[in-house]
Amino acid sequence: MTTGEPIVSARCELIVVPRAVLEASKASTGGGVDWPGIGPVPEELIATMPFGHWLTKLDADPSVAAWLVRGIVVPDPRLPSGQRVVGHAGGHGRPDDDGRVEAGYTLAVAARGQGLATEAVTTWFGWAHRHGGRIARLSVGEENEPSLAIAARLGLRKVDRMWDEDDQIWETVFEAPLPLGPTAR
């Protein structure tokens, strides 16, 4: 069905994070984790990863890995691999029965404000559409102005409001049909 091929955009690649890197990140006590062949995963990103959720889903179905978590990787000639991990993006799983796919993402502080999150999530939704997704979804904390702006840039519309039990916050739910229109970016 779907594979773990990199998803490539103009400025970044979305690369499936290997299970071993997820497990090492879960066990990390600070200082980050090395992703062999890619480079260090900064501690600030590790602190935002829902490992239990991802590892439970992978235990139940290893083939869902391509849908769950991908590193947002940009070129960096200063590093031995020529690449740098600046964030993570991915979905909550394969499309549901209605074809709905929900994305999540986080960027390191130094990578914010450059349009990379918008580019990464737009690219991920494009990939999801090619693999059966019909509806894009984001659930955004009501105080998260940057992500609310991303939802607007993507052309997503408010469809609901819900309580996020894990994060203990109210979120606004946004959706739009896939593929996203030309204004998404």
Residue 1's pLDDT band (cuts 50, 70, 90): very low
140 pLDDT above the threshold of 80:
yes
Domain CATH for 85: 3.40.630
What is the mean predicted confidence (pLDDT) over 14-22? 94
DSSP, collapsed to helix, strand or coil, labels residue 37 as coil
- Cis amide leading into 40 (omega within 30): no
Inside any domain, residue 2: no
For residue 162, tell me if it sits in a domain.
no
Question: Is 179's pLDDT higher than 70?
Answer: yes
In a domain, residue 91? The reply is: yes
Please, are residues 178 and 135 in contact by the beta-carbon 8 Å criterion? yes
pLDDT in tens, 96-119: 999 999 999 999 999 999 999 999
Percent of the chain with pLDDT over 70: 96
Mean pLDDT of 143-166: 96
pLDDT-derived band at 2, boundaries 50, 70, 90:
low
Model confidence over 72-100: pLDDT tens digits?
999 999 999 999 999 999 999 999 999 99
The Cα–Cα gap between 73 and 125 comes to: 17
Strand partners, 158: 174
Q: Is residue 138 part of a domain?
A: no
pLDDT band for position 184 (cuts 50, 70, 90): low
* Residue 175 resides in a domain: no
- Answer whether residue 145 is part of any domain: no
pLDDT, position 183: 62
Our count of domains for the chain comes to 1
CA distance 99 to 132: 7
C-alpha span between 64 and 3 (Å, rounded): 9
Determine the average pLDDT of the residues in 33-60: 91
Range of the domain at 102: 7-133
pLDDT of residue 168: 92
Domain-embedded: residue 182 = no
Residue 160 inside a domain? The answer is no
Task: Decide if 49 contacts 40 (C-beta within 8 A).
Answer: no
Structure tokens, 92: 């909550």
Tell whether pTM > 0.85.
Answer: yes
CB 108 within 8 A of CB 71: no
